[in-house]
Structure 1
Amino acid sequence: VYAPTWLGMLAGLLGAVAVVSFGFAWAMRIRRRPKDPVVAAYNKFSRKLAKAGFVREPTEGAKSFAERSAQGVPAQRASIHTITDIYNELRYGEGSKTLLLKFQKLVKEFELSKHSAT
């Protein structure tokens, strides 16, 4: 007759918990929604501005952030506002695939150095 030891039962229990946890984590990874391309592009734009010293505050809206950033870089004012206006249209309006592609292109081409800030 087999008499399980506490150590054996503990090892079995930990193994079962590990298998269930791994399975749950794997299932959650598969079920994740794909990242919103509009938000992904806007976050990239925000990171570019942050590298130049313009960090978006957690409660700051896109328009306020654009205005504050544009004041610091008058030469890029038009680009900053264009990107922000398109972002708002895509995020909250009737955006199209064509507009999304334009938005992604503008964000990709947007360049701003620390020396640009005045």
Structure 2
Amino acid sequence: STYEVLTHYHWPGNIRELENLIERLILTIEEPIIFPEHLPQSITGQIEQPEDSTFHAIEQDCEENFDLKKTLERVERQLIAKAWKKCKTTYEMAEHLGISQPTVIYKLKKYKQYL
């Protein structure tokens, strides 16, 4: 259950980390209940894909498809997802990605099904 996952997590950021997680979940999920699959991999303990997998996927896209818009959207979606896992707040995400915080909120909503 979600409760078990949250209680077994170490919480190095203490209450602030929990508050920021809840804030992100409220912005990115539509369901009234938070399920374990809504939690980031850093909390659930799932293994992330290697860093170069993003670039391998881009290379594969370019070989199979020359659609620039779709390829750029895929890269953006992957970068947003990585920043969402790494950062504790949407402000930190904005700084990390070099975009504004409202843009981060917009993109989180846009790509919420991929997070």
What TM-score bracket applies, with the shorter chain setting the length?
0.3 to 0.5
Bigger Rg over Cα? 1
